[in-house]
């Protein structure tokens, strides 16, 4: 693997639901995410699209506290796109 | 009541100013979204937030204030939505202060459903021996 970069490695996930939280600032995106996960089975994968600049840090704190897993977070212009897996019930 | 587990966060709302009511509900609903047990106690002017129609009045006043200053309520969650989230969340309780209801001549029926009317001792009894953080707005 020497000399090879993982930078272009693309991993794909089967997204069970996409949450468009672009219209809301804190705590909108986190509340929309939590509310969606409540009705979904363990292991479900959701994608959240947000514009709240605090969302990435908030999401990390939420994930550390609740145990739900962040599979990916990236920025696209002003948008933050996160992929989260539900852990536990 | 005393057999129940203490809340992680107890929030006392004593003002009907938007800068009290909004952050109180924002923190409360976010805490609940993070799996914390939350209780809110509405007293004095803060009671207005859980009187039927009160939240809409608070929101309207807030929007007017913003517009007067040349701002728009962009991205701010609707107060009514935050209250519905709170009322529909597990491990979330909302209490109304009995003394305020009496002093202000508010009828019990005008409080939104599902908010027991309690006194200070009932509210404190669940938190006095636990590690509850109490926030006052």
Indicate yes or no: CB of B29 within 8 angstroms of CB of A27: yes
Q: Are B137 and B24 in contact (CB under 8 A)?
A: yes
Q: What's the mean per-residue pLDDT of chain A?
A: 90
- For the purposes of burial, counting CB atoms within 10 Å of the CB of B72, is it exposed (0-12), middle (13-18) or buried (19 or more)? exposed
Q: Is B119 on the interface with A (CB under 8 A)?
A: no
Please enumerate in sequence order all residues whose Cβ is within 8 A of that of A37, keeping only pairs 6 or more positions apart, or say none.
A44, A46, A68, A84, A86
Confidence check: pLDDT of A83 > 70? yes
Active site residue A26: yes
* pLDDT at res. B2: 42
- CATH code, domain carrying A29: 3.30.110.40
- SS3 readout for B69-129: CCCCCCCCCCHHHHHHHHHHCCCEEEEEEHHHHHHCCCCHHHECCCCCEECHHHHHHCCCC
- Structure confidence by residue, pLDDT tens digits, A29-72: 999 999 999 999 999 999 999 999 999 999 999 999 999 999 99
* pLDDT at res. B1: 44
* pLDDT at res. A2: 44
Indicate yes or no: CB of A25 within 8 angstroms of CB of B35: no
| Residues of chain A with C-beta less than 8 angstroms from the C-beta of B33 | 27, 30-31, 33-35, 62
- Would residue A7 count as lying in a domain? no
- CATH code, domain carrying B120: 3.40.1260.10
| Residues of chain B with C-beta less than 8 angstroms from the C-beta of A25 | 74-77
* pLDDT at res. B125: 79
Count of domains observed in chain B: 1
The Cα–Cα gap between B66 and B1 comes to: 41
**What does the pLDDT profile of chain B (137 residues) look like in tens digits?**
444 678 999 999 999 999 999 999 999 999 999 999 999 999 999 999 999 999 999 999 999 999 999 999 888 999 999 999 999 998 899 999 999 999 999 999 999 999 999 998 888 877 777 789 999 99
- The parent domain of residue B54 ranges over 9-136
Instruction: Decide: pTM greater than 0.90.
Output: no
- Would residue B4 count as lying in a domain? no
- Would residue B75 count as lying in a domain? yes
Q: Is B80 on the interface with A (CB under 8 A)?
A: no
- Would residue A58 count as lying in a domain? yes
Distances (CA, A) of A24 to A4, A11, A30, A61, B79: 40, 28, 10, 18, 13
- Would residue B2 count as lying in a domain? no
- Would residue A53 count as lying in a domain? yes
Count of domains observed in chain A: 1
- Would residue A8 count as lying in a domain? no
- Would residue B1 count as lying in a domain? no
Q: Which residue of A has its CA nearest to B90?
A: A38
- The parent domain of residue A25 ranges over 17-85
Residue with tokens 């599979």: A71
Indicate yes or no: CB of B30 within 8 angstroms of CB of A31: yes
Please enumerate in sequence order all residues whose Cβ is within 8 A of that of B67, keeping only pairs 6 or more positions apart, or say none.
none
- Would residue B3 count as lying in a domain? no
Instruction: Give this complex's ipTM.
Output: 0.78
- Would residue B58 count as lying in a domain? yes
Q: How many CB atoms neighbour CB A37 within 10 A?
A: 23
Indicate yes or no: CB of A27 within 8 angstroms of CB of B75: no
Q: What is the dihedral of CA B49, B50, B56, B59, to 10 degrees?
A: 20
């Amino acid at each position: 693997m020497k000399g090879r970069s993982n930078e272009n490695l693309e991993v794909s996930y089967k997204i069970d639901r996409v949450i468009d939280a672009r219209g809301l600032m804190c705590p909108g995106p986190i509340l929309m995410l939590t509310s969606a996960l409540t009705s979904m089975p363990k292991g479900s994968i959701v994608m959240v699209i947000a514009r709240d600049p605090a969302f990435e840090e908030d999401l990390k704190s939420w994930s550390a506290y609740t145990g739900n897993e962040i599979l990916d977070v990236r920025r696209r212009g002003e948008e933050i796109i996160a992929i989260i897996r539900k852990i536990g019930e | 009541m005393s057999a129940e587990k203490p809340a992680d966060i107890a929030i006392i709302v004593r003002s009907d100013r938007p800068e009290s009511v909004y952050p109180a509900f924002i923190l409360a609903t976010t805490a609940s979204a993070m799996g914390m047990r939350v209780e809110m106690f509405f007293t004095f002017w803060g009671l207005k937030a859980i009187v039927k129609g009160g939240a809409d009045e608070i929101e309207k006043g807030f929007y007017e204030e913003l517009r007067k200053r040349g701002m728009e309520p962009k991205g701010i969650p609707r107060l009514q939505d935050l209250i519905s989230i709170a009322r529909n969340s597990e491990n979330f309780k909302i209490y109304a202060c009995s003394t305020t209801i009496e002093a202000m001549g508010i009828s019990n029926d005008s409080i939104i459903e599902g908010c027991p009317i309690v006194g200070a001792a009932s509210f404190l009894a669940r938190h006095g021996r636990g590690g509850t953080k109490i926030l006052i707005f």
